[in-house]
Structure 1
């Protein structure tokens, strides 16, 4: 993998242009990650085979340091049956109907976040989006918490999310002591407070709502809890962190793009005014006609800045990719960043163009666009994420016009998520 050398001034910038140059053209190419060989797949049809058609023949890869400190007992379980069980358990709180019920809470959190800013005073956009997404996740998925408890949990979840977003994936950077210590401290700080809250809820399960209530009431056939108290806490941390880091990264990019493209911002504002109160949906081809401009804008943000930008799977048996067969244990990698910039699928792929989605309609069988993954282990919260992004975007840009410092250059950091390395913006009232 091709990062630039590290300098004394800060972390290296990942060379995406080099990755594209080296890997484009070969459907499958052998690469090395931290001394371990892997097969890098750039063909969307083969990625569909890995994630969907032959998904049962692939397990989680081990080359990247993504979420190892989080839960492995629920949605992240290696066992497919366990994963399906917890997916079904979470689904009632993340399906489209439930998301619409969540909308008023999402709107309150989003507007409270925007209202806390001051004209002319720069804000760390990524930190603010972590705070907003943390508040939304806790309020909607783990409702029923006392106000003062929720406030403390939001603060600590936002810190954990920021550390997780910037967690290096591989190489010596992933093993450096200071970032690892900061992440471990943030994880322990949030988990200990959530565990204390969870202990209170076990004695009074009726006071708990959302996915946390489902975890507490989930039982095996003999009536014993399916997960221990510690596992329930880990699962809660995992769900809340996952719901926060991706949203915060995508929203940071969305606000950056609007600051760079005033004409696009104007069209988004007009579309939001025209469609106030309606449900944006997703650009997946459901419904009639092409998606509205705001949805096309968000789809384009996710195309060029997919938060989960690289993925590794491990073959559980001998597998065939194209004309080659690989033995069990082979590491297989693919990148949504590369798939989303395939010139054969997306003309002028590096250009930000929301209107390309007037003619491109992603389907479940098209893995050239997978910002939320695909197959049995695709993101269970996709509908939740689309609505949350729409609401956060509306709350911020209807209140503020955000500007970048003159001459600023925002670097792309290729860590656990694809995020802007440092994004300070100045709010001005509309």
Structure 2
């Protein structure tokens, strides 16, 4: 842990707090400028969410202390996780630290090893190519909405197989963005506001109930429960054609379900909902911003197309090609770096503890921000510049040391490997299908939900 003086320093308080609501108005109205401005006031800065204090860590070295070196004293928790737990339940991302988390992570780890993900690549490529290919040439597209749709569809194919009913996919696509908007609203507002019988609060509660009903149907469909489709008679007769399609129709969920009595029905729901959100929220945001950056940097776009052409040699992309696209990975990593994806994450101090010479009291929320660290000019020179070559081999290690998009330590995102594969597949599908990308809206402004998303991003795609 970073050495601290014998007498801990007083934690500076951010200016601009108001009675009763503290800094909630700053977080609600100008969240990114506010969180970025805290760097000017110290390595740890105190803010208030309503009457409750929180401690924002602006130094990536101290964030690594929180997540890795002294992780035992900074439990995953805080207001944002309390709110997300209301949506996800006790999924892997929100369940408290301890034996249950370690057991669940061990049971789920096989789903996300590279070899297992590789078995789903072909189905994911087929799904992405089908959806992107259905766009009409020259049609005005809401790219962020499109990326949400495509990432969700690709994820559902990977998780539940290729035969999930279309109406479930449609409802998931409609419901998840609204639930995430409601979650971030409940995070930044004082708790007493979120408990009032307001229309927005009631709609959020109804949305959570509907999400669980939909996930129940998806689980039943995959596991042969009461909502599953009637088996094809050919299957009972041992039809070879049916057997040949089973691999494509199966998914990663089989690995989760194979844990049997290790997971209750509620836990299966919680884990599937958590994985779905993690798969679409960050990847859709990163892909939308990356496509926007390609419209601004034709040289980068051309390098991507050249790499894709050299690997695929004029044929459609295959799953084995994905490991031969290093520049595509750099481009995506720079998109993830520049735009977050998360802008505020919390931990809870489990005891009074010194952090970088500052005393953090037991029970306090400790806030860290991937967006803040990944746009820090001390670690990423000219952070506003979109530069995929930051990630080329041999570049400064401080770049990687300040990259927290997937967290770090024992709570690091279990699906990181899957996320990179999904993003590469979808980006390649867009580029191989559409030779021309054009921005037709004004440049998008960053807008905070759980991730930092574009407020408006309209593009056309042409041959």
User: TM-score if structure 2 supplies the norm length?
Assistant: 0.79
In structure 2, C-alpha distance between the alignment counterparts of 1:67 and 1:160, rounded to whole Å:
17
Task: Give the SS at the match of 2:135.
Answer: coil
Post-superposition Cα deviations, 1:175-194, rounded to whole Å, max 9, x if no partner, equal 49555555544443343133
Gapped regions of structure 1 (runs ≥ 5):
220-224, 283-290
Match of 1:43 among 55, 59, 80: 59
C-alpha displacement of 1:25: 5.7
Query: Equivalent residue for 2:275?
Result: 239
Give the structure-1-normalised TM-score.
0.84
Whether 1:229 aligns to 2:265 is yes
Q: Please give the alpha-carbon distance, in whole angstroms, between the structure 2 residues aligned to 1:196 and 1:22.
A: 45
5+ residue gaps in structure 2? 1-13, 17-22, 232-245, 313-317
Specify the SS of the correspondent of 1:317: coil
**Is 1:114 aligned with 2:132?**
yes
Describe the SS at the equivalent of 1:24: helix
User: In the alignment, which of 266, 273, 276 is matched to residue 309 of structure 2?
Assistant: 273
Matches of residues 349-428 of structure 1 in structure 2 within 5 Å? 349-358=383-392, 359-360=394-395, 367-400=401-434, 401-405=436-440, 408-428=442-462
Q: Give the superposition deviation at 1:292.
A: 2.9
Instruction: Give the drift of 1:202.
Output: 5.8
Aligned-partner Cα distance in 2 for 1:326–1:152: 48
CA RMSD of aligned residues (A): 3.1
Higher helix share: 2
Which one has a bigger Cα radius of gyration? Answer: 2
From 377, 385, 391, give the equivalent of 1:343: 377
Decide whether the 8 Å contact of 1:75 with 1:87 is kept in 2: no
Following superposition, the deviation at residue 78 of structure 1 comes to 0.6
**How far has the Cα of 1:393 moved from its partner?**
0.4
Indicate if the aligned counterparts of 1:160 and 1:183 stay in contact, CA closer than 8 A. Answer: no
Per-residue deviation, 1:360: 3.1
Task: Please give the alpha-carbon distance, in whole angstroms, between the structure 2 residues aligned to 1:328 and 1:129.
Answer: 41
Partner of 1:17: 33
* Counterpart secondary structure, 1:68: helix
Structure 1 residue 217: Cα displacement: 3.6
Q: Distance in 2 between matches of 1:4 and 1:328?
A: 22
Q: Which moved more, 1:330-339 or 1:176-185?
A: 176-185
Name the CA distance, whole Å, in 1 between partners of 2:310 and 2:98.
44
Partner of 2:69: 53
Q: Is the 8 A contact 1:4 1:14 kept in 2?
A: no
Does 2:330 match 1:314? no
Q: Find the aligned partners of 1:73 and 1:57 in 2 and give their Cα distance.
A: 21
Bigger Cα displacement from structure 2, 102-111 vs 153-162: 153-162
Q: Distance in 1 between matches of 2:259 and 2:25?
A: 49
The CA distance in 2 between the partners of 1:158 and 1:297, in whole Å, is 26
Q: Distance in 2 between matches of 1:319 and 1:259?
A: 47
The size of the alignment, in residue pairs, is 407
Q: Does 2:77 correspond to 1:77?
A: no
Q: For 1:371 and 1:197, how far apart are their aligned partners in 2?
A: 29
